[in-house]
Structure 1
Amino acid sequence: MGIGWRLAMQSALYGPEGFFVRPSSGPADHFRTSVHASPMFARALAGLVERVDAALGRPERFDLVDVGAGRGELLTAIGPVLPADLAARVRPTAVEAAPRPAGLDERIGWRRDVPEAVTGLLIATEWLDNVPLDVVETDEDGRLRKVLVDRQTGVETPGGPADPAEVFWAARWWPGPGRVEIGATRDAAWADAVTRVRRGAALCVDYGHRRDERPPLGTLTGFRAGRQVPPVPDGRCDVTAHVAMDSVALGSGIPYELVRQREALRALGVSGGRPPLELADRDPLAYLRALSGAGEGAELTSETGLGAHWWLWQPVGIELPLV
């Protein structure tokens, strides 16, 4: 007998034997994110930390919170590239369901929930796509019905009528016939995270879509060992779905910017442009380093890859545009 996708994802990802809580391997073993693609991503975010710090008036304590921190890779990479004065004031905190990994820098805090009060920058990189959600489909009479799934096989079957709240969300954010991934749980999760920021900013980086570009067949899928696989919710693969970014953006009631990663990173100095050829004659080693950096920058800003991710930027109590 099948169950709703939200409960299936919750068990498969965060249950006792869930994909994200197993100590034997981390997310980086199964899929590639911007954090893993290049240190340029961490350096760009370090620059953003500096901008937020300046806008806050350089407080004695700067909270740097990474929600969905994996094994702490992003915080580990940001710390060493911050200016010394700022690094001394930063209090990095990883928020993750998995146990604290062995060997992590002792200065990085580790917890399962977002801190109650944040003054600084809260970051969530590819977190919301793993927040469990329910899936509904339009039946032959035009009504929305729940989609149930077998946790061991991934086989789907039609369920009962969608809840009124699901119908309401779909009518506002994902209208039309077909398959609908109900994003209300993501809206609530992000709104709760943003409200923890007392002063500073919140940044959500994820792959997603807006109302005028919803995919009629949905986006639910799986990843294992670097390959896309069927989304079987048995705990052995990542189960993920793209994020309805416009719905998430409005959920907290805080003004926002929503831009593609390629725009945001270019504003922070990341470029995929080739270095000038004259540099090869003047300093061949510098040219090779610059060429390598250009390749990494091109991957981070690619229009068909990581550069297509969305950046949702929400300053709280400060005036600080992203681009």
Structure 2
Amino acid sequence: MLSWRKAAEHALYGPEGFYRRERPRDHFRTSVHVSPLFAGAFARLLLDVDAQLGSPPVLDLIDMGAGCGSLLRGVLAALPGDVRGRVNAVAVEVAERPAEDGLTWATGLPERITGLVMANEWLDNVPVDVVEDGRLVLVAPDGTEAPGPVPEAADLAWLARWWPSGERAEIGRPRDLAWADLLGRLDAGVAVAADYAHTVATRRPTLMGYRDGGTVPPVPDGRCDITAHVALDACAVPGEETVLTTQRDALRLLGVAAGRPPRELATTDPRSYLRALSRTGEAAELTDPRGLGAFGWLMQSKGGVSLKSYGDAVSGAME
């Protein structure tokens, strides 16, 4: 038996792991698959970063856990040609890379980054340990659990700070370290983590599995995705400009609105009306406060790029 972190690491990313064999889009639907409006929002954010950086000759666009590269392609398609020509688009993914698709594929982050890093539903797949009654939970490949040793001191300190109550908890420190490594490589620009998340006030155990479009028990046998909500408030690196809000607020600031098109357009231009109506439905799904709109967005900037306009405009922090 292994700790949940080690078991999930092997089940997801080992030689026969879920992400080595499966295409995520075959098992679950993310904001990327809902609408091109999602990629368009990131394109607008990249244009803001580019303007604040003075249009550098090379502008990095990094997609963490890129899957099949759909988000990266969507952002590139939404950019003006003069900006697109300066973009260094890198898809970071552990799975086998698609051939001849025009993207640069990598298994890890570049050493230095100037531009925008997108981590859409990436941190939730950084495996975490589970603790119950003060001891690590061990798990077998069939999902059988047993009590293990006491967590190490750094994990106990994380729990005391970020998970103040409850008999069972998920130790999010590996996500903090992964995000800190990412932000440490960003010389100038913005990094965004968009994920289902919770705050210190709403912590609860969330370990779950996904397969074939539905939830299943989180069994670390390589046949399902294993995920847990992200403590984005803990991930935020101190000392950097930070906005922590909901996807609903973030996308509204980036131009994704769910307003209905004018009715007279149905008469004067029916095709445009139907397209606008479709976009309205997609925007509503992306910003639904009971669904994707409740996702957390952690935005941090470096190198003179400011998030003040976003921080001033959001209605409130993620709850």
1:253 Cα deviation after fit = 3.8
Report the counterpart of residue 230 of structure 2 in structure 1.
Answer: 243
Alpha carbons 1:30, 1:224 under 8 Å: kept = yes
Instruction: Provide TM-score, normalisation by structure 1.
Output: 0.93
1:91 Cα deviation after fit = 0.5
Report the counterpart of residue 267 of structure 2 in structure 1.
Answer: 281
2-structure distance, mates of 1:240, 1:227: 13
Give 1:67's match in structure 2, choosing from 58, 64, 67: 64
1:175-194 to structure 2, matched below 5 A, reads 175-194=164-183
Identity %: 54
Instruction: Specify the SS of the correspondent of 2:206.
Output: coil
1:162 Cα deviation after fit = 2.3
Q: Which runs of 5+ in 2 are unaligned?
A: 314-319
Report the counterpart of residue 88 of structure 1 in structure 2.
Answer: 85
2-structure distance, mates of 1:235, 1:203: 28
Structure 2 counterpart of 1:231, which letter?
P
Instruction: Provide TM-score, normalisation by structure 2.
Output: 0.94
Structure 2 counterpart of 1:230, which letter?
P
Tell me whether 1:26 sits opposite 2:23 in the alignment.
yes
Instruction: Specify the SS of the correspondent of 2:57.
Output: coil
2-structure distance, mates of 1:80, 1:303: 28
Report the counterpart of residue 155 of structure 1 in structure 2.
Answer: 144
Tell me whether 1:15 sits opposite 2:14 in the alignment.
yes
Alpha carbons 1:190, 1:252 under 8 Å: kept = no
Alpha carbons 1:63, 1:121 under 8 Å: kept = yes
Give 2:295's match in structure 1, choosing from 286, 297, 309: 309
1:104 Cα deviation after fit = 2.0
Instruction: Specify the SS of the correspondent of 1:213.
Output: coil
Structure 1 counterpart of 2:209, which letter?
G
Structure 1 counterpart of 2:99, which letter?
A
- Inter-CA distance 253–11: structure 2 relative to 1 (3 Å threshold): farther
Report the counterpart of residue 141 of structure 1 in structure 2.
Answer: none
Q: Which runs of 5+ in 1 are unaligned?
A: 139-143
Tell me whether 1:111 sits opposite 2:106 in the alignment.
yes
Structure 2 counterpart of 1:311, which letter?
W
Alpha carbons 2:143, 2:220 under 8 Å: kept = yes
Alpha carbons 1:43, 1:78 under 8 Å: kept = yes
Structure 1 counterpart of 2:161, which letter?
R
Structure 1 counterpart of 2:227, which letter?
T
Structure 2 counterpart of 1:27, which letter?
P
2-structure distance, mates of 1:73, 1:281: 35
Per-residue Cα deviation, 1:254-290 (whole angstroms, up to 9, x for no partner): 2210010010111111112222222222222211111
Instruction: Specify the SS of the correspondent of 2:149.
Output: strand
Instruction: Specify the SS of the correspondent of 2:83.
Output: helix
The Cα RMSD (Å) is: 1.2
1:50 Cα deviation after fit = 0.6
- Inter-CA distance 31–180: structure 2 relative to 1 (3 Å threshold): same
1-structure distance, mates of 2:40, 2:241: 26
Report the counterpart of residue 316 of structure 2 in structure 1.
Answer: none
2-structure distance, mates of 1:186, 1:177: 20
Tell me whether 1:199 sits opposite 2:188 in the alignment.
yes
2-structure distance, mates of 1:32, 1:104: 22
1-structure distance, mates of 2:149, 2:77: 53
Please say which of residues 192-201 and 93-102 is displaced more in the overlay.
93-102
Alpha carbons 2:242, 2:307 under 8 Å: kept = no
